[in-house]
Amino acid sequence: MTFYSQVDIFILGIRRSGNHAISNWLIPHYQGVVRYFNVFSFIEQLRPENNRVQGTTTEIYTNLQGKTFCLSSVTVNDTASNKLPNWAINHVKIPANANLFGCENLTPQHIYEVFDNWYDLKYKKIVEHNGMQITDRRIFIIILRNPFNNIASMMQKPILSPPNNIPISQLPATWIAYAKEYLGETSYLKNLGNFITLNYDLWFSDQNYRKSLSAKLNQPFTDAGLQKVTGQHGGGSSFDGVAFSDKAQQMKVLERWKFFQNDREYLSLLKNEELLALYKRIYGEPPFQI
């Protein structure tokens, strides 16, 4: 298998911060074959276990202990690629225009510490062994969602299963780590490749902001994937499930805090001086006083 692509895009986001929505939006930006690795961990060399070809093309990957840690799906954005014989069954052998790695709950520091070892020993060797040259185009996108809404969504629908599991109690510290990287107080990801910050609230509400992100990716702007709600891999919205499939912009994702503003556990998580100080630098005044 090759896993070769013209560009590798690593999407970092705390779970329930719009990771799948943004991935769905990114996919149509790239023509041809786009391979998406869901809930990716820099753990073991990827190896296929089983193929399921039912509507969408999905392959399950396991680590060496046989535990499922990654789902890979392939999207074809042009008719020419659809004509490839048996491409759905053997998609790992097909060079992709882009590989998207969904890295949930992994802090920038953690990725910085494990990336080179994984890239050289468990990724680069696979590609070069199959006679292909590894791409030198790497993009790291860090997603930051307003913590008032991010924590509310996590409490509404806690993490379904490992890997990359973090308890609710650690969510403030994890958000702080993301916010510091977003603001440039830390610079772990800049040392690994092209680095793009993405404010989920602005991405959801402002088309001009989305256009600026497309420009940073050097891709023509498109909102073709904006309305999609992922049910198969992401479980849909924590509040709405897949009820707003194909009309995602109608969801009240910027107002989730209203459901928990009187919840003691919720308020205790937000009552963090460092978190609130970083929040004000990025978003201004909070929606209500803690």
Q: How confident is the model at residue 134 (pLDDT cuts 50, 70, 90)?
A: confident
Higher pLDDT, 181 or 102: 181
pLDDT for position 133: 75
Task: Give a yes or no: residue 3 inside a domain.
Answer: no
Q: What's the number of domains the chain is made of?
A: 1
Task: Give a yes or no: residue 288 inside a domain.
Answer: no
Task: Give a yes or no: residue 289 inside a domain.
Answer: no
Between CA 124 and CA 91 the distance in angstroms is 18
Task: Give a yes or no: residue 1 inside a domain.
Answer: no
Can you give the CATH number for the domain in which 179 is found?
Answer: 3.40.50
Task: Give a yes or no: residue 157 inside a domain.
Answer: yes
Q: How confident is the model at residue 166 (pLDDT cuts 50, 70, 90)?
A: confident
Of 209, 208, 191, 189, the C-alpha closest to 200 is 209
Task: Give a yes or no: residue 15 inside a domain.
Answer: yes
How big is the CA angle at 239 (ends 202 and 283), to the nearest 5 degrees?
Answer: 25
Lowest mean pLDDT: which of 22-26, 41-45, 280-284?
Answer: 41-45
Task: Give a yes or no: residue 240 inside a domain.
Answer: yes
Highest mean pLDDT among 20-29, 53-62, 213-222, 223-232: 213-222
Task: Give a yes or no: residue 279 inside a domain.
Answer: yes
Higher pLDDT, 130 or 175: 175
- The arithmetic mean of pLDDT across residues 238-246, rounded, is 44
Q: What is the residue range of 19's domain?
A: 8-283
Q: How far apart are the first and last CA of the chain?
A: 52
pLDDT for position 20: 87
- The arithmetic mean of pLDDT across residues 87-103, rounded, is 67
pTM of the complete model: 0.82
Residue 129: count other Cβ atoms within 10 Å of its Cβ: 10
pLDDT for position 228: 64
